[in-house]
Structure 1
Amino acid sequence: MRIALLAHIRHPVAPPFTGGMEAHSWHLAEGLTARGHDVVLFASGDSDPRFAIDAVVPVHHERVFPGLEHRGDPGLRAHVDAGYAAACDRIAAGGFDVLHNNSLSRLPLERRRTGQVPTVTSLHVPPYDALRGFVHASLGLGHRITVTSQAQLQTWWPAGAPPEVSVLHNGVDPAAWPFRDRGDGSAVWSGRLAAIKGAHHAIAAARLAGIPLTLYGPIEEPDYWADRIAPQLGGPIRYGGHLDGRALAAAIGSASVFLFTPCWDEPFGLVAIEAMACGLPIAGLANGAAPEVVGEAGCLVPEGDDADLARAIGVALAIPRTVPQARVLRLFSRDLWLDRCEALYAQVRAGPAPATWVG
């Protein structure tokens, strides 16, 4: 198939990934290309040049409008809308069999556009006012929507989802996150260093549990970093930087437990399954999709008491490392994820029959 992949443009779709949305688009482009599809990645022009890039904007917009995401800035909104509108026009004229929409733009959701190119939209965020109404109004014969978890499905459609919506769990390549049969006794955390990701809870719990902790990831919120993270560093608490995939997998795999601390309605938690593939059990907060993703591979507690999270670390450390690995291989492998993407593409191209499987 000839596939257009429309990405979010806040950050480049290139390793080391700033967040899960960038990782999702990169791995989707890489996986579909490896399966023989003709993929064009519509993303910021500074994305990974190994792909065929059609630039939505010349460079990712965080460079041009730093710190203005979700703040209603009119300049940023006009910049993003102009880029996406032109990209959607090029997709409509490009002879594509299907569009996989990973953007947070309302423009690819318009029925006049989904009527031109069969579209699969993957939602990676909880519902918010600027997008919710457009998503709900967008369903039609040429459009399918996926969410990443049953928990996310419930937040978007609390009264029940229409048949055009299905759960498409994220997947990872086990070869990229190799299993290690033992760890060094330490804890590890990775993700965007932003308040909603909760690294401060991981630090507090690790101190209470008496276990060394290393944090990895990009510093997304400098004030949060300066106020709540940097003053806590030193001794057994360290920051390991923002690593590329291979180095990050090696660092995570050498630890003994992964701390997963979402302080929001987490839609999925890609970092958790990356660690689980390496064999790490999870100690974390039971927000959003975390229980659905972690299952028997960890111990989750309600947010609010870091002493509870510290106790969860001890429980998680007793889980054999083969348990989290097996859960990833059974539910969250890249091949399973790509199989389901291809099935969705076939369904949306076929026309009126909606997707019937969930999971």
Structure 2
Amino acid sequence: MDRLRLLLVSTPVGPLGSGLGGGVELTLLNLGQELRRRGHDVTILAPAGSVLGDLPVVGVSGPLQPTAHTQGRDTPIVLHQDGVLGRMWDTARQHQDAYDLIVNFAYDWLPFYLTPFFQTPVAHFVTMGSLSDAMDGAVRQVADQFPGRLGAYTRTQAETFGCGAAFKILSSAIDLSCYQFCPTPGQAVAWLGRISPEKALEDALAATEMAQIPLKILGKLEDEAYWQSLGQRFPQAADSYLGFLPTQALQAIVGQCRALVMTPRWVEAFGNVAIEALACGVPVIAYDRGGPAEIVRSGTTGWLVPPDDIAALAEALTRIEALDRVACRQQAETEYSLPALGDRFEAWFQAMLGTSPPMAEPRP
């Protein structure tokens, strides 16, 4: 593929490296590095203070945008005066001629609304499922006016918008060289993610308590009040929390665990933590909902249980030994490598720019 000049526009909810962007941060890092390895010119536009490996980042200052998952479905559009969201997209507009393609990773109404006003094509990698009526309308408008410009992690996520066929399903990936296979785990299981109500950490605490299996909690402590309420119900939570760790330290702990437990209360768009675990040879036990349901091979690389069924979750924890840690690593290598991710995104870019036929979707 010919060299492209690409501007990847980050989420406006926090600086890259802070953890506030959730899976967007890991996706941007891995995609940006792979695209640059392929010879493309990659620039990241993000809130001031962002650091993303050795990728070039243009920082923009201003008040941060509220996170979409903390808002209601009918919450009005919020755009701060001199806020980072507006300033990022003003910067993109001013410098659009320097790029062949602009790719939006922000889950916010403004970039979708602005799409018709750019001369340089703007594509949208949508990073969450349907959360608000305003966003649903903005997404469907782009689907109608600019066919082929929408991408998503999973089919389940895309279908929440009511126009699932308009999306290219691009999945996700990690740098497998950063994750070491561990064939002989300890006794604990892991829970990894943003500590926020929609992730339902309380279900993992309750299930591991029922199964009498120790739990290691890792991730960004996003909602302090929620965390305090968990501590009142589950006194063991404080001692189980190991913090928000960089990849090297994270994978060393997760790899030593017997399984990863995923308990999303919402439709998880993907679940990068699942493929991080698989890369370490760690099976995933998850609710049969959202992205994890498209990742886990139930009975081989994990177990899928009915959503919100804590008893079923606890029972699945007793069947971890039936799962294959070698198969977990093999699945990560086959489906979630950086070269596979690069192939999918390059094919999407080529299709939008009219240089190749539409891409095939990755195997679930």
1:52 aligns with 2:53: no
Identical aligned pairs, as a percentage?
Answer: 27
Change (3 A) 1:285 1:229: farther
Aligned to 1:20: 23
Q: Structure 1, residues 135-171: CA drift from partner, whole Å, max 9, x if none?
A: 111144585211111211222236x513xx2111111
Distance 2:15 2:208 in 1: 33
Check the 8 A contact 1:122/1:145 in 2, yes or no: yes
Structure 2: gaps (5+ residues)? none
1:314 counterpart (313, 318, 324): 318
SS of residue paired to 2:103:
strand
Shift of the alpha carbon at 1:77? 4.0
Check the 8 A contact 1:16/1:243 in 2, yes or no: no
Aligned to 2:306: 302
- Show the 5 A alignment for 1:213-232: 213-229=215-231, 231-232=233-234
Aligned to 2:206: 204
SS of residue paired to 1:61:
coil
Check the 8 A contact 1:141/1:348 in 2, yes or no: no
**Range 206-215 or range 317-326, more displaced:** 317-326
Aligned to 2:330: 326
TM-score by length of structure 2 reads 0.87
2:176 counterpart (161, 174, 177): 174
Shift of the alpha carbon at 1:215? 0.1
**Range 73-82 or range 260-269, more displaced:** 73-82
Distance 1:346 1:235 in 2: 48
Equivalenced residue count is 350
1:135 counterpart (139, 142, 145): 139
- Show the 5 A alignment for 1:263-278: 263-278=265-280
Change (3 A) 1:176 1:199: same
Aligned to 1:157: 162
Shift of the alpha carbon at 1:27? 2.0
**Range 204-213 or range 20-29, more displaced:** 20-29
Shift of the alpha carbon at 1:68? 10
Aligned to 1:285: 287
Shift of the alpha carbon at 1:268? 0.9
- Show the 5 A alignment for 1:235-250: 238-250=240-252
Distance 2:71 2:87 in 1: 17
Check the 8 A contact 2:204/2:263 in 1, yes or no: yes
Aligned to 1:106: 109
Shift of the alpha carbon at 1:236? 10
**Range 133-142 or range 244-253, more displaced:** 133-142
Shift of the alpha carbon at 1:69? 5.6
1:347 aligns with 2:351: yes
1:8 aligns with 2:16: no
Change (3 A) 1:326 1:205: same
Q: CA RMSD in A?
A: 2.7
TM-score by length of structure 1 reads 0.88
User: Given residue 337 of structure 2, which amino acid in structure 1 is its aligned partner?
Assistant: S
Shift of the alpha carbon at 1:229? 4.0
Aligned to 1:121: 124
**Range 252-261 or range 309-318, more displaced:** 309-318
Shift of the alpha carbon at 1:91? 3.8
- Show the 5 A alignment for 1:87-106: 87-93=91-97, 95-106=98-109
Distance 2:149 2:341 in 1: 16
Q: Structure 1, residues 106-128: CA drift from partner, whole Å, max 9, x if none?
A: 333334345x1233311111122
Structure 1: gaps (5+ residues)? none
Q: Structure 1, residues 56-105: CA drift from partner, whole Å, max 9, x if none?
A: x316716xx79996375877544245224312313423x21111211123
SS of residue paired to 1:156:
coil
SS of residue paired to 2:57:
strand
Check the 8 A contact 1:281/1:321 in 2, yes or no: yes
User: Given residue 201 of structure 2, which amino acid in structure 1 is its aligned partner?
Assistant: A
**Range 185-194 or range 24-33, more displaced:** 24-33
Distance 2:273 2:95 in 1: 31
Shift of the alpha carbon at 1:34? 2.7
Aligned to 1:148: 153
2:86 counterpart (61, 82, 85): 82
Distance 1:137 1:103 in 2: 16
SS of residue paired to 2:183:
coil
Check the 8 A contact 2:231/2:237 in 1, yes or no: no
Shift of the alpha carbon at 1:212? 0.7
Shift of the alpha carbon at 1:13? 1.6
Shift of the alpha carbon at 1:18? 5.1
Aligned to 1:358: 361
Aligned to 2:34: 31
Distance 2:84 2:48 in 1: 13
Change (3 A) 1:17 1:70: closer
**Range 245-254 or range 8-17, more displaced:** 8-17
Check the 8 A contact 1:13/1:23 in 2, yes or no: no
**Range 262-271 or range 232-241, more displaced:** 232-241
